Each structure stands twice: as structure tokens, then as C-alpha cells.
Chains A and B, each alone.
Chain A
Amino acid sequence: MTHQDMSNESDRYEVPQEIQRALQRAAQNAAEHGLQPFFVDRVMKSIAAAKAVRLPAEEMFEGLVGWFRPIAVASLLIIIGLIGFNLKEAATHELAVSVSESVLGLPAVSVETAFELNDE
């Protein structure tokens, strides 16, 4: 959006220019008086202090998360590969199977088999 568009929009929402200028001037004055000397140096010191007080547990947790990420991705790829393999096998052998059997390679659970398992 250009300055022209901005001023058109300001006109539409009736923000008088003198009020906008007064706001900008007030914020500028407050910022100049509000910032204490050597601001950048103090920020860098705060950061150094924040780094120094990092807990070992925090570092260990971040390390674990870093290790876990590639493992999670690899596991997901293996699962997708296995599902693909199962679907292909089920289609090749033209087995009359349920979805769980073709995707996961597990036998379908019927009421009868459930009762049998229960009896065991």
C-alpha cells in the first residue's frame, strides 16, 4: 500500500493529520526519554546472563528433542512403506480381506474370534 492509499484510508476513517502527528511526536519524545544510555550494551549483557543461567535439564531436553526428530521422521517413513507393501501384497494375491488386514497385515477381528480369545 502506498502513502497515497494510506492517507486515503486515513481520510475514510477520519484520522485528522494533526492528531496523527501529535501521536507520533508524543511517542518519539517518550521513546527518547524512556531509553536509558547504553541500551544495546545492556541487552547484550542480559543475553549473556540469560545464557549463563540455562539449566542443564533444559539443554538435555533440547538435545533429546533434536535426537527424536529424525527418529520420528524415519519411523513415519517405515510405517508408510509397510502400509504400501501390505496393500500391494493384498492386491497381488487377491485375498478377500478387510481394510485392517490389507493395511496392517492383521487378521480381521470378528465376534467369534473375540470370544475365542476371551475363552483362552
Chain B
Amino acid sequence: MLDTRDASDEELLEAARKGDQRAFRGLVDRHHEALARTVAGMLGPGDAIDDVLQEVFVQFYKNLTVFRGDSSVKTYLNRIAINRSLDVLRRRRRRLKRFVGLDEAGANQFAAESAEPSGPDETVWKAVDRLSDDQKAVVTLRLVDGYTTQETAEILGVRYGTVLSRLSRASENLRMMLQPAPGEDRPT
């Protein structure tokens, strides 16, 4: 019987494809905490993290036979997580636009200003909320998850240079909002 702790992702995947529920459970167990950080990086704190993550694994299960293994399981799961998170961000913005009557930039700013206080990380989330969705995705994969620029490009399906330009703009924005002026405290 397959030992889910020692087996590689590929072995678990193969077993899961054959209907081994324990193997699939092993994959969920192995990847859910890292993916929760990815989704949190995209959406900020809140209950949506749990919901989105569940959807990610359900979609992964449905795609087991379609997934050809061109990328690693981790990369594939990250791609689903980013896409699902982008859907949620778009839905949130649509809702804001409908109820508050703001354009996209206004909706982003409104979201950032009206974000729930989240303790010591509040400043960070307010800064992240002001980034565009594309910039958030790059920042999350590149700076939070620690993927290389090439891996980030592969996950997002964009060119290497695109990742660098988005990262550059996002860093500029984050520095403006988070880096303290001389004499002030560091961001918490």
C-alpha cells in the first residue's frame, strides 16, 4: 500500500487517478498550507481563503484525468489558486461598482480604504489592496511564495519581461506606501 507521507507527488497523483482517495487526501494534506498563503496573498485576510482553497482542490480532483503532468503538481495547483482568486477579486470589484457606482480605479481605492482592520498587518493589506490584480498575482508568487521570475511567468502564462515590469511597478507602489520616511518606524 502506498505510504502517502513518503510517496512523491507524481506517485500520489497516479494513485489518485486510479481512484485512491487516500492518495488524493495525501496531496491535499501536503499542499494546502502553502496554497493558503498564496490565496491569502491575493485576497487578504478573511473567510474567502477557506472557500477558495476548497474550490481549488475540487477543481483539481475534477481535472485529474486532464492534467498531463507538464508542470509539477505544486505549480498546477498554484495556477488554479491564482485564477480562482482573480475570479473572486473581479466579483468583489463588480459588486462594489454596482453598489457604489465607482469605476475600476475608484473601486480599488474604495476597497483599500474600507478594508477591515486586520491587526498588525493592516498597513500591509491596505497597500496590497491598492495594487492591480496582475500586480498582486506577481507579488504573491514572486515575493510571498518565493517562486523565481521564470516560474512566476509560467504559472501566470505571461512572458518573463511582463513579470519583471509588473514586479517593478508593484515594488514601486509598495515602497511608496510601506517604506517609512527617514525617522519613522518600519512597516509592521
Q: Smallest Cβ distance from B151 to chain A, in angstroms?
A: 8
Complex: A19 Cα to B167 Cα, angstroms: 13
Contact between B179 and A47 (Cβ–Cβ < 8 Å)? no
- Secondary structure call for the A interface: helix
A34 touching B50 in the complex, CB below 8 Å, given contacts A44-B28, A47-B24, A47-B58? yes
Q: Which of A15, A19, A35 contacts B49 (CB 8 A)?
A: A35
Complex: A85 Cα to B11 Cα, angstroms: 45
Which interface class (under 10, 10 to 19, 20 to 34, 35 or more) fits A? Answer: 20 to 34
How many pairs of A and B residues are in contact by the CB < 8 Å rule?
126
- Secondary structure call for the B interface: helix
Which interface class (under 10, 10 to 19, 20 to 34, 35 or more) fits B? Answer: 35 or more
A23 touching B33 in the complex, CB below 8 Å, given contacts A1-B148, A46-B54? no
Contact between B124 and A23 (Cβ–Cβ < 8 Å)? yes
Q: Which residues of A contact B (CB under 8 A)?
A: 1, 5-6, 9, 13-16, 18-20, 22-36, 39-40, 42-44, 46-47, 50
Subset of 10 A-B contacts with CB under 8 Å: A1-B149, A6-B146, A15-B167, A23-B41, A34-B40, A35-B36, A40-B32, A43-B54, A47-B24, A50-B61
